[in-house]
Amino acid sequence: MNSLEIVDIINSERKEGDSELQHKHFLEKVPKVICEKKSAKFSADLPEAYGRPRRGYHFLKREACLMAMSYSYD
């Protein structure tokens, strides 16, 4: 699962009136939740709307769960 997909899931679970999570803020949190050395191995170029590469991450199931739970345990 990539970081863009996780951000979409987190935003879909937020309550009405809560601010929307931006991908750039998610990227800042990754090295804090998954240590810097480990997070580097998940780094990936993800295509943006115009097909240009965009910085992001492609996580395994464990790391994707850790990142999602860092925003909400539910």
Categorise residue 51: left if φ over 0, alpha if ψ from -120 to 50, beta otherwise: left
8 A C-beta contact, residue 7 and residue 57: no
d(CA 12, CA 30): 20
Kindly report, residue by residue over 4-27, the tens digit of the pLDDT: 999 999 999 988 888 999 999 999
Instruction: State the pairing for strand pair 53-57/43-47.
Output: antiparallel
pLDDT interval class at 44 (50, 70, 90): very high
Q: Per the confidence metrics, is the pTM higher than 0.95?
A: no
Mean pLDDT of the chain: 91
Residue 15, amino acid:
K
Domain ranges across the chain: 3-13+22-69
